[in-house]
């Protein structure tokens, strides 16, 4: 496989890790996170500062990035997740801005708007694949566990969920923390794949791309998120000429999906062998009837 395709594959995996967290959080728990790139930035900068300055081992640096990202999720979640209303969404939007502000102005630590160059390229295909499969396994199992079902209950009707004894604040916070961990991981991997980081990589555009992947793939489907991450990461690579219009199309796409088919491409349908078999049986019986 040529270097170019390996690169795309690694980028798909890195995006997918962040999208998985977002899918759990926005799709399954109903929490809208507008500032995912902020968590990526936290993970990326923490990991990078550790590897470049303190020569920390890569896995340890990644873990530290995840940890700091999770801590910041508690910082935002604690005051806002208890409240009704859009406080949380506004706070995530503000969080991404605050992170950008800090990164740009704490020049001694982060290199300011020029960023940190010459990061060792620790992110290789095998590492990325293993981590991605691990993340996928974790999220898929979490969603199907009792805890995941509780998240869906909170999404569907918070009051009803609480009345049967689900601590909605706790489940929102857990979803948010898992998302932050995955976003931090994704950021750390990204930094050590690209080889440099700067604040502009973690702007609104990045948050937008990730949330569009979740919405496009289907908010209640893990395999939908995988599919969307593959398509929406590789498509812009292949269609570089239309780069400028890509975000215009993304914006329109989000509105059209919400208006026409809010459940996204896959809805809550999962791409599993059992489901495919069921689909074929349905098709066959439809043919027989004709």
Partner 1 sequence: MSTVLQQIINGISIGSVYALIAVGYSLVYSILKFSNFAHGGVLMLGSYFGYFALTLFGMPFWVALPLAIIGAGLLGVINERLAYRPIRMRNSPLLYLMISSLGASIFLENFTIVTIGPTFRTYPEVFAISPYMIGDLYIGRLDIIIFVIATISVALLTWIIYGTRIGNAIRATSYNMRVASLMGINPDMIVAFVFFLAGASAGLGGVLFGIKYTVWPQMGILTLKAFIAAVVGGLGSLPGAVVGAMVLGVTETFAAAFVSSAFRDLFSYALMIIIIIVRPGGLLGTVTGEKA
| Residue 97 touching partner 1 (CB under 8 A) | yes
Which member of 251, 278, 280, 281 binds partner 1 (CB under 8 A)?
Answer: 251
| Residue 215 touching partner 1 (CB under 8 A) | yes
- CA gap 121, 3 in Å, rounded: 14
CB 244, min distance to partner 1, A: 5
| Residue 262 touching partner 1 (CB under 8 A) | yes
CB 146, min distance to partner 1, A: 23
Q: Applying CB under 8 A, which part among 58-66, 157-165, 231-239, 266-274 lies near partner 1?
A: 157-165
Contact 16, 229 (CB under 8 A): yes
Contact 64, 120 (CB under 8 A): no
- Identify residues 53-82 at the interface with partner 1 (CB under 8 A): 79-80, 82
Q: Applying CB under 8 A, which part among 57-65, 173-181, 192-200, 244-252 lies near partner 1?
A: 244-252
Q: Give Cα 137 to chain centroid, integer Å.
A: 15
Tokens for 284, please give them: 């066959």
Indicate the length of the chain as a whole number: 290
**At residue 43, what are phi and psi to the nearest 5 degrees?**
-65, -45
| Residue 93 touching partner 1 (CB under 8 A) | yes
| Residue 87 touching partner 1 (CB under 8 A) | yes
User: How many Cβ atoms are within 10 Å of 276's Cβ, its own excluded?
Assistant: 11
CB 36, min distance to partner 1, A: 12
Comparing CA positions, the residue from 28, 55, 52, 69 lying closest to residue 185 is 69
Residues 74-98 as b/e (b if ≥16 CB within 10 A, e otherwise) read eebbeebbeeeeeebeebbbebbee
Q: Applying CB under 8 A, which part among 26-34, 129-137, 138-146, 268-276 lies near partner 1?
A: 26-34
Query: Which residues in this chain contact partner 1 in the complex, by CB under 8 A?
Result: 26, 30, 32, 34, 79-80, 82-87, 89-91, 93-94, 97-98, 101-102, 104-105, 158-159, 162, 204, 208, 211, 215, 244-245, 247-248, 250-255, 257-259, 262
């Amino acid at each position: 496989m040529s270097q170019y395709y390996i690169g795309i594959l690694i980028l798909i995996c890195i995006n997918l890790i962040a999208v998985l967290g977002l899918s759990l959080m926005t799709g399954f728990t109903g929490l809208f996170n507008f500032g995912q790139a902020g968590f990526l930035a936290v993970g990326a900068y923490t990991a990078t500062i550790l590897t470049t300055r303190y020569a920390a081992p890569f896995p340890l640096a990644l873990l530290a990035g995840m940890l700091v990202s999770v801590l910041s999720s508690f910082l935002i979640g604690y005051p806002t997740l208890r409240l009704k209303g859009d406080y949380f969404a506004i706070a995530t939007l503000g969080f991404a801005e605050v992170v950008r502000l800090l990164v740009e102005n704490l020049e001694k630590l982060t290199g300011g708007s020029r960023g940190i160059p010459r990061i060792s390229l620790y992110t290789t295909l095998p590492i990325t694949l293993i981590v991605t499969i691990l993340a996928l396994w974790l999220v898929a199992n979490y969603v199907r566990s009792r805890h995941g079902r509780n998240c869906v209950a909170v999404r569907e009707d918070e009051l009803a969920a609480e009345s049967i004894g689900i601590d909605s604040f706790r489940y929102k916070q857990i979803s948010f923390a898992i998302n932050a961990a995955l976003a931090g991981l994704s950021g750390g991997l990204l930094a050590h794949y690209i080889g440099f980081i700067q604040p502009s990589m973690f702007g609104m555009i990045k948050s937008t791309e990730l949330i569009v992947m979740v919405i496009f793939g289907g908010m209640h489907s893990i395999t939908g998120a995988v599919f969307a991450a593959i398509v929406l990461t590789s498509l812009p690579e292949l269609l570089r000429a239309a780069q400028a219009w890509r975000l215009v199309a993304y914006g329109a796409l989000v509105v059209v999906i919400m208006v026409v088919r809010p459940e996204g491409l896959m809805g809550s349908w999962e791409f599993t062998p059992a489901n495919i078999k069921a689909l074929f049986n349905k098709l066959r019986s439809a043919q027989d009837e004709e």
